[in-house]
Every structure is written in structure tokens, then in C-alpha cells.
Amino acid sequence: MSLVWEQVNVDAHDAEALGRWWAEALGWVVVNDAPDEYEIRPEKDRLPGLLFSPVPEGKTVKNRLHLDFRPDDQAAEVARLLALGARHADVGQGEQSWVVLEDPEGNEFCVLGDHRPRT
């Protein structure tokens, strides 16, 4: 038996707008822009993807699942994401080596410290 990680589903007030934001933030491509499913992937035929689905309710509490990203340059990446519309988030993390941000609909994600090649 095997499993293939297909995608992460993200509930969104405006699935298209949030999907477009994440596509820009990650440099991914849109593979489905239907009104009830907006999906992006790293490349057209590469998994996993992010699937944005419209829901009527807004986000009200901290995410139980979030994405972590490891950039080459944390400070530059945080600045770029903030310029795209991300915001700093306080989820009680205190002083850490990672930065917690939230997307335009309030979904938290972390930008970890700079990527360092393994030796």
C-alpha cells in the first residue's frame, strides 16, 4: 500500500484571491481556477498542491495545521511576503529563530531560519 500526498485544502472566504496570493508568494502555477476549487502547484504536473475552497465562515482561531518554509535568506523573504500583503502574527511563540506570518485571510505560516547546506 502507498499514499501520495496530493494537496493541502485551505478554506477561504475568497478562494480565488487567496489562491492567487499564494501562487504569487510561492511562484507556483494555477492548475484549476473553477469557482468551487482554486488549485495551485509547484509545476503543472508536480505535487503536492494547495487547493482553496470557498466557505461562508471566516477564520476565528489559530490554525491547527500550518506550513513552514525554509528560505535562503529569511529577512529578504519575510520582507517580500510582507510587501505582498502578509502580516506578522503572534500565536504565543515568543522570541524564536522563525517568523510567524499570516496570509491575507489570517492563516498562519512560518518562515524558518536561512537554509544552510548540510555538510
pLDDT at 90: 79
pTM of the predicted protein model: 0.88
Cα dihedral 35, 49, 18, 109 sign: positive
So what's the architecture of 59-119 in CATH? Roll (3.10)
| Residue with cell string 461562508 | 56
User: Has residue 92 got a pLDDT over 80?
Assistant: no
User: Has residue 71 got a pLDDT over 90?
Assistant: yes
∠ Cα 88 48 82 (to 5°): 20
CATH fold of the domain at 1-58: 3.30.720
User: Has residue 119 got a pLDDT over 80?
Assistant: no
Band (pLDDT 50/70/90 cuts) for residue 96 is: confident
For the chain, where do the domains classified as CATH 3.10.180.10 start and end? 59-119
For the chain, where do the domains classified as CATH 3.30.720.120 start and end? 1-58
Here the cell at position 66 is 500550518
